[in-house]
Structure 1
């Protein structure tokens, strides 16, 4: 296994309105989670850098050479970006693995997903239709959609290239300029995306990548009068603060926030299918996923058997280096994040939880310098326990029994979050009833963590507001306008001419 691949990382400059510049903000250090080594130190964007990017974006977006393009003409730029992502997929995967600690298998899939997202929204733009509305008077009535102008995209550290594409592609397809603020823990792959966008020939100024402090750059993007919309993926508290600031300027936002998703295994489920799905749902990506199935409810009649098999299978998961093709559970993004997850497990044990497996960093010299944590399963708590209420964002699963359909629906809904859920049963009518009864944005039946860019995604309750993906995902970055064209040729009677 070759761990030190000869791929150069982005050089540390940021992309300010189409220009590569040294940032003037605080230092950002990208660290390889497998061993703590430094990937790159760079200066993030300052407020002044952000203001220059906004000014350049405003000029570029207003230029008729962009704003006047037909949707199918904008689609050509998105196809070119998708081509660039595909041509650089290996490089993108390596950079993202260095930045986040994810396995190369996962980061390759994320790169492919990003390319597919740009192609999907290119197709949406190619086939975009406006509407003639039902005529109810002596006027031809139409509904048209126009670009908002400048859009800010704020993305998290756990899956940056896919999250970036999910916001940038529809916003560009709609005719906007986009200012992207990636998380400070994983800025490099977003800067690589900027290189690809530049090489694809997108007009200069329409795209910026501004890594930097959330309070400084995020705050600027939310409050600046020229920013017409913010799309944010991240923590619930940050999202709530962002929404308050957006409300002051009456600016629309989309918020994809935290989760504490329930997975439900009924006694009639295919046990092999359920075991594989539950494990993938919570332990893939080392649990660092907003949709992780972190609360597992198993029907009491099969609880002991299923949980016993689950624990034994979890112990066999391969924890290892992200470049090892056999690795299933890679390091977490930072040691301080790993330590925070460990502290939450320790608190749960102190409050009466039972440790069934994991609960510690793996032993051995291969793991000492990295941010590793064993897949962990806890039992012996109720749905009211703190470990069942708060998002851990790590490889930690809590298992609880239930009696019947009514009880598990109540337990599944009894949480502040409402992002996703999984159901395992051979009885489809029952799965349908439960799926409709759960207050979540996404429900998987006999599978988990499967996505389609054509299918809307978002959360309920504390998990956010608004939807991304699908044809409606492009509408979110457009303003709807009504146009009335007189057909009578007569003056309005009120004037009595």
Structure 2
């Protein structure tokens, strides 16, 4: 079992303390300091990038056949499973999430590495149709050095979704974890670096570089040896990274924010819809890019549905992630809790009714943690800021709709287009509505379910590109065409 990493970074295959400023990572449930992690410097980012470029070009890796690269991914998957309880407990301590969720995220990470290994072993390249005296084919080659910048809300799963396909594609990776939650990324880095050593592969294939995005993240994006960046996080940061990438003509994958609608049609199974709506926004304490934070309910059902919803939300159990009874855990950081509270205060100023929640829970149990009660608002139009801006907390805004056209107009009236949920017994209505909603993922009679085999990404300000699926590996490679001449006579020459 890896020890809890602190005071260290993985720089071009070497574990050592970063030379940058120290930062405390804090248990959101108690406010206690878990560890002190020193950021890396811009110079150390450059060192990591140079080491990554050497490792990516090393024949031991560059010439390794796909099924041999898959061995590394299978090994990492097995190690994640062997260390699952430690990784889950570490992520709960660092993020505040309930253990049931962090265990599921760890299992997802292992599954991501295993699925990607299988996709790598079975990936095919194409002989393309000939249009002359030649045979044509399309092949895929590594980009070289990939920068992966991840958020604080689900680090182990997010790390796996970037690391597995990037390594499968034959690249080296510079991973920057969120500065609030670096511990599980550093622990995962130890498992991967140990596997590289066991298999005799170049140590510089992975660096884990803690630090703030404005310093470390910016240095990764701008370094000339970095050939692609994949980022999950806020839309504002995503735009900044996109500008930097454009200056280099470098490909970029962005999985950004959301303000996802969840829709309850008049014929919905009310019990399923109530449970799904609550899970969709209050699991993870609302700290999810795909949280169903805008609830649209058919007007004839609105009063009864929202009334029952409010009664059930008021009974959700708030507590530390280590308590098996907890349903809504603390937010990741006190600063973030204050941001969520400020949005609810803004909603009040905009005329919203606070139907439940809307405050920090009282009691000694909650005194030192970053807690906020699950909150339901209504009484504001879809144009209100709380309906348009991503709050990233346990806050739901309920709105009625009159017919499908009204619903589609309101649901699509957003800069975001990440996800949507639809609750109905009518499969034809679900199909038609699902095609009209501008979202990268639509769930029908379920919500917040994921499969590594199914592509994921957003539209509009929710991002660019897709992760997961069999083509996920290809997004970390360059496509090349080869022509093999078959003519017996020389090419005609007019000179």
- Rounded Cα–Cα distance in structure 2 between residues aligned with 1:245 and 1:142: 33
Deviation at 1:138, TM superposition (A): 0.5
1:244 paired with 2:239, answer no
- Rounded Cα–Cα distance in structure 2 between residues aligned with 1:116 and 1:7: 20
Bigger Cα displacement from structure 2, 280-289 vs 8-17: 8-17
Deviation at 1:177, TM superposition (A): 0.3
- Rounded Cα–Cα distance in structure 2 between residues aligned with 1:489 and 1:121: 43
Q: Which residue of 1 aligns with 2:392?
A: 393
Q: Which residue of 2 aligns with 1:110?
A: 105
- Rounded Cα–Cα distance in structure 1 between residues aligned with 2:327 and 2:181: 21
- Rounded Cα–Cα distance in structure 2 between residues aligned with 1:488 and 1:31: 69
- Rounded Cα–Cα distance in structure 1 between residues aligned with 2:8 and 2:106: 22
Q: Which residue among 158, 162, 166 is the counterpart of 2:161?
A: 166
- The number of equivalent residue pairs is 491
Deviation at 1:199, TM superposition (A): 2.0
Q: Which residue of 2 aligns with 1:342?
A: 341
Q: Which residue of 2 aligns with 1:119?
A: 114
Q: Which residue of 2 aligns with 1:328?
A: 327
1:275-290 equivalences under 5 Å are: 275-290=274-289
* Conserved 8 A contact 1:44-1:213: yes
CA shift digits 1:289-339 (9 cap, x unpaired):
010000000001110110011001101111011100111100000111101
Q: Which residue of 2 aligns with 1:100?
A: 95
Q: Which residue of 2 aligns with 1:315?
A: 314
Bigger Cα displacement from structure 2, 90-99 vs 192-201: 192-201
Q: Secondary structure at the match of 1:85?
A: helix
1:70 paired with 2:69, answer no
Deviation at 1:28, TM superposition (A): 1.8
Q: Which residue of 2 aligns with 1:54?
A: 49
* Conserved 8 A contact 2:419-2:458: yes
1:468-483 equivalences under 5 Å are: 468-483=467-482
Deviation at 1:490, TM superposition (A): 2.1
Runs of 4+ residues deviating >4 angstroms: none
Q: Which residue of 2 aligns with 1:14?
A: 9
* Conserved 8 A contact 1:435-1:443: yes
1:172-211 equivalences under 5 Å are: 172-201=167-196, 202-211=201-210
- Rounded Cα–Cα distance in structure 2 between residues aligned with 1:440 and 1:425: 18
CA shift digits 1:389-419 (9 cap, x unpaired):
1000000000011111111011100011110
Deviation at 1:427, TM superposition (A): 0.4
CA shift digits 1:55-108 (9 cap, x unpaired):
111111101110001111100000001011000000100111111000111110
Q: Which residue of 2 aligns with 1:370?
A: 369
1:296 paired with 2:256, answer no
Q: Which residue among 136, 150, 155 is the counterpart of 2:131?
A: 136
1:262 paired with 2:261, answer yes
Q: Which residue among 40, 45, 58 is the counterpart of 1:45?
A: 40
Q: Which residue of 2 aligns with 1:359?
A: 358
Unaligned runs of 5+ in 1: 1-5
CA shift digits 1:320-373 (9 cap, x unpaired):
111001111000001111011001101110110001000001111000000000
Unaligned runs of 5+ in 2: none
- Rounded Cα–Cα distance in structure 1 between residues aligned with 2:202 and 2:447: 39
* Conserved 8 A contact 1:34-1:101: yes
Q: Secondary structure at the match of 1:23?
A: coil
Deviation at 1:27, TM superposition (A): 1.4
RMSD of aligned residue pairs (Cα, Å): 1.1
- Rounded Cα–Cα distance in structure 2 between residues aligned with 1:477 and 1:391: 29
- Rounded Cα–Cα distance in structure 2 between residues aligned with 1:17 and 1:72: 25
- Rounded Cα–Cα distance in structure 1 between residues aligned with 2:116 and 2:488: 40
* Conserved 8 A contact 1:9-1:39: no
Q: Secondary structure at the match of 1:384?
A: coil
- Rounded Cα–Cα distance in structure 1 between residues aligned with 2:447 and 2:406: 22
Q: Which residue of 2 aligns with 1:3?
A: none
Deviation at 1:7, TM superposition (A): 9.3
Q: Which residue of 2 aligns with 1:214?
A: 213
**How high is the TM-score relative to the length of structure 1?**
0.98
**How high is the TM-score relative to the length of structure 2?**
0.98
Q: Secondary structure at the match of 1:450?
A: coil
Q: Which residue of 2 aligns with 1:492?
A: 491
Deviation at 1:8, TM superposition (A): 5.0
Q: Which residue of 1 aligns with 2:410?
A: 411
1:451 paired with 2:446, answer no
Deviation at 1:489, TM superposition (A): 3.2
